[in-house]
Chain A
Protein backbone atom coordinates (compact mmCIF):
# COMPACT_ATOMS: atom_id res chain seq x y z
CA UNK A 1 0.00 0.00 0.00
CA UNK A 2 1.37 3.39 -0.92
CA UNK A 3 1.32 6.64 1.04
CA UNK A 4 -1.93 8.48 0.57
CA UNK A 5 -0.89 12.08 0.00
CA UNK A 6 -4.21 13.36 1.32
CA UNK A 7 -5.13 11.21 4.30
CA UNK A 8 -1.78 9.86 5.48
CA UNK A 9 -0.24 13.31 5.24
CA UNK A 10 -3.19 14.71 7.19
CA UNK A 11 -2.72 12.15 9.95
CA UNK A 12 1.01 12.87 10.07
CA UNK A 13 0.32 16.62 10.15
CA UNK A 14 -1.98 16.28 13.14
CA UNK A 15 0.73 14.31 14.93
CA UNK A 16 3.32 16.97 14.13
CA UNK A 17 0.88 19.70 15.16
CA UNK A 18 0.22 17.97 18.47
CA UNK A 19 3.93 17.57 19.15
CA UNK A 20 4.61 21.19 18.18
CA UNK A 21 1.81 22.44 20.43
CA UNK A 22 2.95 20.20 23.29
CA UNK A 23 6.75 20.14 23.28
CA UNK A 24 8.05 16.89 24.70
CA UNK A 25 5.04 14.87 23.55
CA UNK A 26 6.32 12.14 21.26
CA UNK A 27 4.41 11.19 18.14
CA UNK A 28 5.05 8.16 16.01
CA UNK A 29 5.00 8.34 12.21
CA UNK A 30 5.72 4.66 11.61
CA UNK A 31 2.37 3.85 10.06
CA UNK A 32 2.69 6.61 7.49
CA UNK A 33 6.43 6.18 6.91
CA UNK A 34 6.05 2.46 6.18
CA UNK A 35 3.70 3.23 3.30
CA UNK A 36 6.37 5.14 1.40
CA UNK A 37 7.21 3.07 -1.64
CA UNK A 38 10.12 5.04 -3.00
CA UNK A 39 13.59 4.33 -1.70
CA UNK A 40 14.58 7.72 -0.37
CA UNK A 41 17.95 7.21 1.24
CA UNK A 42 16.94 9.11 4.36
CA UNK A 43 14.64 8.26 7.25
CA UNK A 44 11.20 7.64 5.70
CA UNK A 45 9.67 9.80 8.47
CA UNK A 46 11.83 12.70 7.32
CA UNK A 47 10.45 12.13 3.86
CA UNK A 48 6.88 12.18 5.15
CA UNK A 49 7.60 15.54 6.79
CA UNK A 50 9.13 16.83 3.57
CA UNK A 51 6.06 15.80 1.57
CA UNK A 52 3.87 17.45 4.20
CA UNK A 53 5.68 20.78 4.27
CA UNK A 54 7.48 21.35 0.99
CA UNK A 55 6.16 22.66 -2.27
CA UNK A 56 7.05 25.24 -4.86
CA UNK A 57 6.29 28.09 -2.43
CA UNK A 58 9.11 27.29 -0.02
CA UNK A 59 12.85 26.80 0.15
CA UNK A 60 14.91 24.00 1.68
CA UNK A 61 18.41 22.77 2.27
CA UNK A 62 19.71 19.28 3.02
CA UNK A 63 22.73 18.66 5.25
CA UNK A 64 24.07 15.17 4.65
CA UNK A 65 26.95 13.26 3.16
CA UNK A 66 24.56 12.38 0.37
CA UNK A 67 23.15 15.89 0.18
CA UNK A 68 23.30 16.15 -3.61
CA UNK A 69 21.34 12.97 -4.17
CA UNK A 70 18.66 13.66 -1.56
CA UNK A 71 18.33 17.33 -2.46
CA UNK A 72 17.66 16.32 -6.05
CA UNK A 73 15.07 13.78 -4.98
CA UNK A 74 13.24 16.21 -2.68
CA UNK A 75 13.28 18.86 -5.36
CA UNK A 76 11.87 16.48 -7.94
CA UNK A 77 9.15 15.23 -5.61
CA UNK A 78 8.03 18.56 -4.17
CA UNK A 79 9.32 21.26 -6.56
CA UNK A 80 10.58 23.19 -3.54
CA UNK A 81 13.48 25.51 -4.25
CA UNK A 82 16.98 24.56 -3.15
CA UNK A 83 18.86 27.40 -1.43
CA UNK A 84 21.86 27.91 0.81
CA UNK A 85 21.39 26.90 4.43
CA UNK A 86 21.18 30.50 5.73
CA UNK A 87 18.22 31.26 3.47
CA UNK A 88 16.31 28.01 3.84
CA UNK A 89 12.87 27.88 5.40
CA UNK A 90 13.26 24.15 5.98
CA UNK A 91 16.58 22.54 6.80
CA UNK A 92 16.93 18.77 6.84
CA UNK A 93 19.90 17.50 8.82
CA UNK A 94 20.18 13.79 8.16
CA UNK A 95 21.59 11.10 10.37
CA UNK A 96 24.86 10.85 8.47
CA UNK A 97 25.64 14.53 9.05
CA UNK A 98 28.26 14.77 11.78
CA UNK A 99 28.10 16.92 14.87
CA UNK A 100 30.07 19.71 13.19
CA UNK A 101 27.68 19.83 10.23
CA UNK A 102 24.66 19.94 12.54
CA UNK A 103 26.16 22.71 14.63
CA UNK A 104 27.09 24.69 11.54
CA UNK A 105 23.60 24.31 10.07
CA UNK A 106 21.97 25.49 13.29
CA UNK A 107 24.34 28.43 13.57
CA UNK A 108 23.57 29.54 10.04
CA UNK A 109 19.82 28.91 10.14
CA UNK A 110 17.77 32.06 9.81
CA UNK A 111 15.90 33.28 12.87
CA UNK A 112 13.64 35.92 11.32
CA UNK A 113 13.65 39.47 12.62
CA UNK A 114 11.54 41.21 15.25
CA UNK A 115 8.99 42.36 12.68
CA UNK A 116 8.84 39.01 10.91
CA UNK A 117 9.81 36.26 13.34
CA UNK A 118 7.95 33.72 11.21
CA UNK A 119 10.58 34.12 8.49
CA UNK A 120 12.77 31.71 10.36
CA UNK A 121 13.96 28.19 9.73
CA UNK A 122 12.33 24.99 10.84
CA UNK A 123 15.11 22.45 11.25
CA UNK A 124 14.27 18.77 10.92
CA UNK A 125 17.01 16.71 12.52
CA UNK A 126 17.41 12.95 12.31
CA UNK A 127 18.40 11.82 15.79
CA UNK A 128 19.73 8.49 17.00
CA UNK A 129 17.05 8.10 19.66
CA UNK A 130 13.94 10.03 20.64
CA UNK A 131 12.26 8.62 23.73
CA UNK A 132 10.42 9.51 26.88
CA UNK A 133 13.32 8.43 29.10
CA UNK A 134 14.92 10.95 31.38
CA UNK A 135 17.17 13.37 29.56
CA UNK A 136 15.92 16.88 29.07
CA UNK A 137 13.45 18.70 31.27
CA UNK A 138 11.39 21.12 29.18
CA UNK A 139 9.34 24.14 30.20
CA UNK A 140 7.37 26.71 28.29
CA UNK A 141 4.10 27.17 26.40
CA UNK A 142 2.39 23.88 25.64
CA UNK A 143 3.79 22.24 28.76
CA UNK A 144 1.75 22.04 31.94
CA UNK A 145 4.47 21.79 34.56
CA UNK A 146 7.45 20.10 33.01
CA UNK A 147 7.99 17.62 30.22
CA UNK A 148 10.78 15.06 30.06
CA UNK A 149 12.24 13.82 26.81
CA UNK A 150 15.39 12.06 25.73
CA UNK A 151 16.97 13.11 22.43
CA UNK A 152 20.23 11.43 21.47
CA UNK A 153 22.06 13.35 18.77
CA UNK A 154 25.74 14.18 18.60
CA UNK A 155 26.76 17.82 18.59
CA UNK A 156 26.17 20.76 20.89
CA UNK A 157 22.75 21.51 19.44
CA UNK A 158 21.37 22.44 22.86
CA UNK A 159 23.88 25.24 23.35
CA UNK A 160 23.55 26.62 19.84
CA UNK A 161 19.78 26.42 19.99
CA UNK A 162 19.82 28.44 23.18
CA UNK A 163 21.93 31.13 21.55
CA UNK A 164 19.72 31.27 18.48
CA UNK A 165 16.58 31.53 20.58
CA UNK A 166 17.96 34.05 23.05
CA UNK A 167 15.86 36.90 21.74
CA UNK A 168 12.27 35.73 21.53
CA UNK A 169 10.30 36.02 19.22
CA UNK A 170 13.18 35.39 16.82
CA UNK A 171 14.57 31.89 16.78
CA UNK A 172 14.51 28.47 15.19
CA UNK A 173 12.10 25.60 15.63
CA UNK A 174 13.46 22.07 15.85
CA UNK A 175 11.84 18.78 14.94
CA UNK A 176 13.64 15.54 15.81
CA UNK A 177 12.84 12.15 14.28
CA UNK A 178 14.58 8.90 15.09
CA UNK A 179 14.93 5.63 13.11
CA UNK A 180 11.88 4.22 14.95
CA UNK A 181 9.83 7.12 13.58
CA UNK A 182 9.51 8.77 16.97
CA UNK A 183 9.06 12.52 16.60
CA UNK A 184 9.44 15.35 19.09
CA UNK A 185 9.37 19.12 18.59
CA UNK A 186 11.25 21.90 20.32
CA UNK A 187 9.72 25.20 19.19
CA UNK A 188 11.66 28.35 20.10
CA UNK A 189 9.49 28.98 23.17
CA UNK A 190 10.60 25.76 24.85
CA UNK A 191 13.26 26.10 27.47
CA UNK A 192 15.54 23.22 28.29
CA UNK A 193 15.92 23.80 32.00
CA UNK A 194 17.77 20.69 32.99
CA UNK A 195 19.85 18.00 31.41
CA UNK A 196 19.99 14.74 33.23
CA UNK A 197 22.99 12.77 32.08
CA UNK A 198 22.33 9.12 32.57
Chain B
Protein backbone atom coordinates (compact mmCIF):
# COMPACT_ATOMS: atom_id res chain seq x y z
CA UNK B 1 0.00 0.00 0.00
CA UNK B 2 1.23 3.44 -0.80
CA UNK B 3 1.45 6.08 1.87
CA UNK B 4 -0.37 8.58 -0.33
CA UNK B 5 -3.76 8.84 -1.93
CA UNK B 6 -3.94 8.16 -5.64
CA UNK B 7 -2.79 11.40 -7.31
CA UNK B 8 -1.68 12.75 -3.92
CA UNK B 9 -4.92 14.63 -3.22
CA UNK B 10 -7.81 13.66 -1.03
CA UNK B 11 -11.05 13.35 -2.99
CA UNK B 12 -12.44 16.60 -1.53
CA UNK B 13 -9.58 18.58 -3.01
CA UNK B 14 -10.09 16.95 -6.39
CA UNK B 15 -13.81 17.73 -6.29
CA UNK B 16 -13.09 21.39 -5.57
CA UNK B 17 -10.73 21.69 -8.52
CA UNK B 18 -13.01 19.66 -10.78
CA UNK B 19 -16.01 21.89 -10.03
CA UNK B 20 -13.94 25.00 -10.77
CA UNK B 21 -12.62 23.45 -13.99
CA UNK B 22 -16.12 22.66 -15.28
CA UNK B 23 -17.25 26.25 -14.62
CA UNK B 24 -14.09 27.56 -16.25
CA UNK B 25 -14.87 25.62 -19.43
CA UNK B 26 -18.43 26.97 -19.44
CA UNK B 27 -17.09 30.55 -19.22
CA UNK B 28 -14.03 30.59 -21.50
CA UNK B 29 -11.32 32.98 -20.35
CA UNK B 30 -12.98 33.81 -17.02
CA UNK B 31 -10.85 33.22 -13.94
CA UNK B 32 -12.75 30.95 -11.58
CA UNK B 33 -11.57 31.24 -7.97
CA UNK B 34 -10.90 27.96 -6.21
CA UNK B 35 -9.60 26.77 -2.87
CA UNK B 36 -5.99 26.25 -3.87
CA UNK B 37 -4.26 23.61 -1.80
CA UNK B 38 -0.88 23.63 -0.13
CA UNK B 39 1.41 21.54 -2.28
CA UNK B 40 4.71 19.82 -1.65
CA UNK B 41 6.31 22.25 -4.06
CA UNK B 42 6.58 25.98 -3.47
CA UNK B 43 3.86 28.33 -4.65
CA UNK B 44 4.88 29.94 -7.88
CA UNK B 45 6.54 26.74 -9.04
CA UNK B 46 3.59 25.33 -10.90
CA UNK B 47 1.20 24.45 -8.10
CA UNK B 48 -1.81 25.60 -10.13
CA UNK B 49 -0.89 23.40 -13.05
CA UNK B 50 -0.01 20.56 -10.75
CA UNK B 51 -3.35 20.75 -8.96
CA UNK B 52 -5.18 20.62 -12.29
CA UNK B 53 -3.09 17.68 -13.42
CA UNK B 54 -3.75 15.79 -10.18
CA UNK B 55 -7.49 16.43 -10.43
CA UNK B 56 -7.51 15.08 -14.00
CA UNK B 57 -5.11 12.18 -13.95
CA UNK B 58 -6.25 8.57 -14.11
CA UNK B 59 -4.55 5.21 -14.33
CA UNK B 60 -4.68 5.17 -18.12
CA UNK B 61 -3.06 8.56 -18.65
CA UNK B 62 0.36 9.19 -20.11
CA UNK B 63 1.95 12.34 -18.77
CA UNK B 64 4.34 14.80 -20.29
CA UNK B 65 5.70 17.74 -18.31
CA UNK B 66 7.74 20.51 -19.86
CA UNK B 67 9.36 23.57 -18.41
CA UNK B 68 10.12 26.27 -20.96
CA UNK B 69 10.28 23.67 -23.69
CA UNK B 70 12.45 21.24 -21.79
CA UNK B 71 11.40 17.82 -20.50
CA UNK B 72 14.46 17.60 -18.34
CA UNK B 73 14.60 20.77 -16.29
CA UNK B 74 14.27 20.62 -12.51
CA UNK B 75 10.70 21.88 -12.33
CA UNK B 76 9.48 19.44 -14.98
CA UNK B 77 11.32 16.47 -13.51
CA UNK B 78 10.06 17.13 -9.99
CA UNK B 79 6.45 17.46 -11.07
CA UNK B 80 6.75 14.36 -13.22
CA UNK B 81 8.20 12.41 -10.30
CA UNK B 82 5.52 13.56 -7.90
CA UNK B 83 2.69 12.60 -10.24
CA UNK B 84 4.42 9.37 -11.23
CA UNK B 85 5.07 8.26 -7.67
CA UNK B 86 1.56 8.97 -6.46
CA UNK B 87 -0.25 7.48 -9.47
CA UNK B 88 2.09 4.95 -11.02
CA UNK B 89 1.38 6.28 -14.50
CA UNK B 90 3.93 6.43 -17.28
CA UNK B 91 5.65 9.64 -18.29
CA UNK B 92 6.73 10.38 -21.81
CA UNK B 93 8.73 12.96 -23.69
CA UNK B 94 6.94 12.28 -26.95
CA UNK B 95 4.28 14.97 -27.31
CA UNK B 96 1.98 12.94 -29.55
CA UNK B 97 1.95 10.05 -27.09
CA UNK B 98 0.85 12.07 -24.05
CA UNK B 99 -2.77 12.39 -22.94
CA UNK B 100 -1.97 15.03 -20.33
CA UNK B 101 0.62 17.70 -20.99
CA UNK B 102 1.55 20.04 -18.19
CA UNK B 103 3.65 22.92 -19.36
CA UNK B 104 5.38 25.97 -18.03
CA UNK B 105 5.66 28.79 -20.55
CA UNK B 106 5.44 26.86 -23.83
CA UNK B 107 2.94 25.13 -26.06
CA UNK B 108 4.66 22.20 -27.82
CA UNK B 109 5.68 22.60 -31.46
CA UNK B 110 3.74 19.55 -32.59
CA UNK B 111 0.04 20.43 -33.00
CA UNK B 112 -2.01 18.97 -30.18
CA UNK B 113 -4.86 16.57 -30.90
CA UNK B 114 -8.36 15.98 -29.65
CA UNK B 115 -7.48 13.36 -27.07
CA UNK B 116 -5.01 15.59 -25.26
CA UNK B 117 -5.40 18.11 -22.47
CA UNK B 118 -2.85 20.89 -22.13
CA UNK B 119 -2.38 22.24 -18.61
CA UNK B 120 -0.51 25.53 -18.37
CA UNK B 121 1.09 26.82 -15.20
CA UNK B 122 0.24 30.45 -14.59
CA UNK B 123 2.14 32.81 -12.28
CA UNK B 124 -0.06 35.88 -12.81
CA UNK B 125 -3.53 35.08 -14.14
CA UNK B 126 -4.79 38.66 -14.12
CA UNK B 127 -3.96 40.46 -17.40
CA UNK B 128 -5.07 43.79 -15.91
CA UNK B 129 -2.93 43.54 -12.79
CA UNK B 130 -0.09 45.66 -14.19
CA UNK B 131 -2.20 48.78 -13.98
CA UNK B 132 -4.77 47.86 -11.35
CA UNK B 133 -3.67 46.31 -8.10
CA UNK B 134 -7.10 45.75 -6.60
CA UNK B 135 -8.69 42.37 -7.27
CA UNK B 136 -12.11 43.83 -6.54
CA UNK B 137 -11.61 46.44 -9.26
CA UNK B 138 -10.18 44.05 -11.87
CA UNK B 139 -13.13 41.71 -11.30
CA UNK B 140 -15.45 44.64 -11.96
CA UNK B 141 -13.49 45.66 -15.05
CA UNK B 142 -13.84 42.13 -16.43
CA UNK B 143 -17.53 42.14 -15.52
CA UNK B 144 -18.09 45.37 -17.39
CA UNK B 145 -15.82 44.35 -20.25
CA UNK B 146 -13.85 47.52 -19.59
CA UNK B 147 -10.50 46.78 -21.18
CA UNK B 148 -9.23 50.22 -22.14
CA UNK B 149 -6.40 49.74 -19.63
CA UNK B 150 -5.19 46.64 -21.43
CA UNK B 151 -5.17 48.52 -24.72
CA UNK B 152 -3.49 51.51 -23.10
CA UNK B 153 -0.67 49.28 -21.84
CA UNK B 154 0.02 48.12 -25.39
CA UNK B 155 -0.36 51.68 -26.71
CA UNK B 156 2.21 52.97 -24.22
CA UNK B 157 4.64 50.28 -25.31
CA UNK B 158 4.23 51.42 -28.90
CA UNK B 159 4.78 55.05 -27.90
CA UNK B 160 7.90 54.14 -25.96
CA UNK B 161 9.50 51.43 -28.05
CA UNK B 162 7.83 51.66 -31.42
CA UNK B 163 6.14 48.29 -31.09
CA UNK B 164 4.30 46.08 -28.64
CA UNK B 165 7.11 44.94 -26.40
CA UNK B 166 5.37 42.13 -24.53
CA UNK B 167 8.08 39.49 -24.28
CA UNK B 168 5.66 36.80 -23.21
CA UNK B 169 2.16 36.66 -21.81
CA UNK B 170 0.77 38.89 -24.57
CA UNK B 171 -2.90 39.35 -23.63
CA UNK B 172 -5.58 37.63 -25.69
CA UNK B 173 -9.31 38.06 -26.15
CA UNK B 174 -11.20 34.80 -25.66
CA UNK B 175 -14.54 34.10 -27.32
CA UNK B 176 -14.86 37.83 -27.96
CA UNK B 177 -15.52 38.47 -24.28
CA UNK B 178 -12.71 38.07 -21.76
CA UNK B 179 -9.21 39.47 -21.96
CA UNK B 180 -7.03 36.67 -20.66
CA UNK B 181 -3.40 36.14 -19.71
CA UNK B 182 -2.30 33.18 -21.83
CA UNK B 183 0.42 32.45 -19.20
CA UNK B 184 3.97 33.53 -20.04
CA UNK B 185 4.15 31.66 -23.34
CA UNK B 186 6.09 33.48 -26.06
CA UNK B 187 4.01 35.42 -28.58
CA UNK B 188 5.06 32.67 -30.98
CA UNK B 189 2.68 30.30 -29.17
CA UNK B 190 -0.33 32.62 -28.91
CA UNK B 191 -1.80 31.61 -32.30
CA UNK B 192 -1.69 27.93 -31.23
CA UNK B 193 -4.41 28.69 -28.68
CA UNK B 194 -6.82 29.86 -31.34
CA UNK B 195 -9.25 27.10 -32.30
CA UNK B 196 -7.02 24.50 -30.67
CA UNK B 197 -7.96 20.86 -31.09
CA UNK B 198 -7.03 20.14 -27.48
CA UNK B 199 -8.66 21.47 -24.35
CA UNK B 200 -6.41 24.04 -22.64
CA UNK B 201 -6.65 24.49 -18.87
CA UNK B 202 -4.73 27.16 -16.99
CA UNK B 203 -4.06 27.03 -13.27
CA UNK B 204 -2.63 29.61 -10.90
CA UNK B 205 -2.04 28.07 -7.48
CA UNK B 206 -0.73 31.09 -5.63
CA UNK B 207 -3.46 33.33 -7.06
CA UNK B 208 -6.08 30.61 -6.58
CA UNK B 209 -7.56 30.79 -10.07
CA UNK B 210 -8.45 28.26 -12.74
CA UNK B 211 -9.44 29.23 -16.27
CA UNK B 212 -9.88 27.48 -19.56
CA UNK B 213 -9.93 27.68 -23.31
CA UNK B 214 -12.21 24.96 -24.70
CA UNK B 215 -11.31 23.42 -28.06
CA UNK B 216 -12.28 25.31 -31.22
CA UNK B 217 -12.61 28.58 -29.33
CA UNK B 218 -11.62 31.88 -30.83
CA UNK B 219 -8.52 33.35 -29.17
CA UNK B 220 -7.28 36.63 -30.61
CA UNK B 221 -4.07 38.33 -29.51
CA UNK B 222 -4.71 42.01 -28.73
CA UNK B 223 -3.36 44.33 -31.42
CA UNK B 224 -4.15 47.56 -33.24
CA UNK B 225 -5.18 47.99 -36.85
CA UNK B 226 -1.94 49.80 -37.67
CA UNK B 227 0.27 47.86 -35.25
CA UNK B 228 -0.45 44.23 -35.94
CA UNK B 229 0.29 41.38 -33.61
CA UNK B 230 3.64 39.85 -34.46
CA UNK B 231 5.26 36.69 -33.24
CA UNK B 232 8.95 36.58 -32.46
CA UNK B 233 10.75 36.27 -35.75
CA UNK B 234 13.04 33.34 -36.27
CA UNK B 235 13.64 34.26 -39.90
CA UNK B 236 17.08 33.27 -41.09
CA UNK B 237 17.77 31.18 -38.00
CA UNK B 238 17.90 27.45 -37.92
CA UNK B 239 18.51 25.00 -35.10
CA UNK B 240 22.18 24.12 -34.77
CA UNK B 241 21.34 20.56 -33.84
CA UNK B 242 18.44 19.51 -36.03
CA UNK B 243 18.29 22.29 -38.59
CA UNK B 244 14.66 23.18 -37.91
CA UNK B 245 13.38 26.56 -38.98
CA UNK B 246 10.04 28.19 -38.12
CA UNK B 247 10.11 27.01 -34.53
CA UNK B 248 10.68 28.95 -31.32
CA UNK B 249 14.41 29.01 -30.64
CA UNK B 250 16.81 29.72 -27.83
CA UNK B 251 19.83 31.85 -28.57
CA UNK B 252 23.21 30.77 -27.26
CA UNK B 253 26.66 32.32 -27.36
CA UNK B 254 29.56 30.01 -28.02
CA UNK B 255 31.94 30.47 -25.11
CA UNK B 256 35.14 30.23 -27.11
CA UNK B 257 34.32 31.77 -30.44
CA UNK B 258 31.72 34.25 -29.18
CA UNK B 259 29.45 33.27 -32.04
CA UNK B 260 25.72 33.21 -31.50
CA UNK B 261 23.78 30.14 -32.51
CA UNK B 262 20.25 28.86 -32.08
CA UNK B 263 18.59 25.69 -30.86
CA UNK B 264 15.01 24.49 -30.74
CA UNK B 265 13.42 25.52 -27.46
CA UNK B 266 11.17 22.44 -27.55
CA UNK B 267 13.76 19.79 -26.71
CA UNK B 268 11.63 16.73 -27.44
CA UNK B 269 10.74 18.13 -30.86
CA UNK B 270 14.44 18.63 -31.57
CA UNK B 271 15.32 15.17 -30.30
CA UNK B 272 12.70 13.40 -32.38
CA UNK B 273 13.94 15.22 -35.49
CA UNK B 274 17.50 14.19 -34.69
CA UNK B 275 16.45 10.59 -34.14
CA UNK B 276 14.65 10.57 -37.45
CA UNK B 277 17.77 11.93 -39.14
CA UNK B 278 19.92 9.20 -37.63
CA UNK B 279 17.51 6.53 -38.81
CA UNK B 280 17.49 7.95 -42.33
CA UNK B 281 21.27 8.08 -42.42
CA UNK B 282 21.51 4.47 -41.40
CA UNK B 283 19.55 3.27 -44.41
CA UNK B 284 22.21 4.00 -47.04
CA UNK B 285 24.87 2.40 -44.83
CA UNK B 286 23.09 -0.92 -45.12
CA UNK B 287 22.76 -0.61 -48.86
Residue positions of A touching B, CB distance < 8 A: 5-7, 9-11, 13-14, 16-18, 20-22, 52-55, 57-58, 113-118, 120, 122, 141-144, 168-169, 171, 173, 187-189
Contacts and interface: CB of A to CB of B under 8 A. Distances in A.
Given A16-B22, A21-B199, A189 B15 contact: no
A115 B140 contact: yes
B16 interface: yes
Contact of B11 (A5, A16, A57): A5
Contacts of B35: 57
B143 A114 contact: yes
Contacts, number: 103
A143 B216 contact: yes
B79 interface: no
A116 B217 CA distance: 21
B216 A187 contact: no
A6 B212 CA distance: 24
Interface of B: 5-7, 11-12, 14-16, 18-28, 30, 32-33, 35, 55-59, 139-140, 142-144, 175, 177-178, 195, 199, 212, 214-218
Contacts of A171: 26
Contacts of B177: 168-169
Interface centre among B25, B32, B55, B144 (most CB of A within 10 A): B25
A52 B19 CA distance: 9
A18 B190 CA distance: 23
Nearest to A9: B11
Contact of A144 (B15, B212, B216): B216
Interface centre among B23, B55, B175, B177 (most CB of A within 10 A): B23
